[in-house]
Amino acid sequence: MRSVEVSKPTKRRSKSTTRSLRLYVAGNAPNSLRAIANARSICEGQGGPIELEIVNVLEHPKRALADGIIVTPTLIKLSPLPIQRMVGDLSDRTQVLLTLGSK
């Protein structure tokens, strides 16, 4: 698994409409792998551009520290504001969509 991965939208829109997410995981731990799969599935099912960055805290602990990550997996919605956080494997699709502000 690569430590940082960015999925960019195929259609470029203005920066204000792009949703930006960052998922912190711990290597190949089962919860981390589930969170990655769930995040990708949710992003693919949404309309509009979404950028998903995946950060492995085992390889980039300073990035996790900078964002105050103490538990993995943690998903952070960076934009649009307000910033939101979710902890867990993202298996509760309804709650993830509510956090992301999706319909």
- Residue ranges of the domains in the chain? 4-100
Tens digit of each residue's pLDDT (9 = 90 or more) over 19-48: 899 999 999 999 999 999 999 999 888 877
pLDDT of residue 48: 77
Does position 2 have pLDDT exceeding 50, yes or no? no
pLDDT of residue 46: 80
| Beta-carbon count within 10 A of 83 CB | 11
Rounded to whole angstroms, the Cα distance separating 67 from 23 reads 11
CATH architecture of 4-100: 3-Layer(aba) Sandwich (3.40)
Q: Are strands 74-79 and 19-25 parallel, antiparallel or unpaired?
A: antiparallel
pTM, two decimal places: 0.81
Tens digit of each residue's pLDDT (9 = 90 or more) over 89-99: 999 999 998 88
Does position 8 have pLDDT exceeding 70, yes or no? no
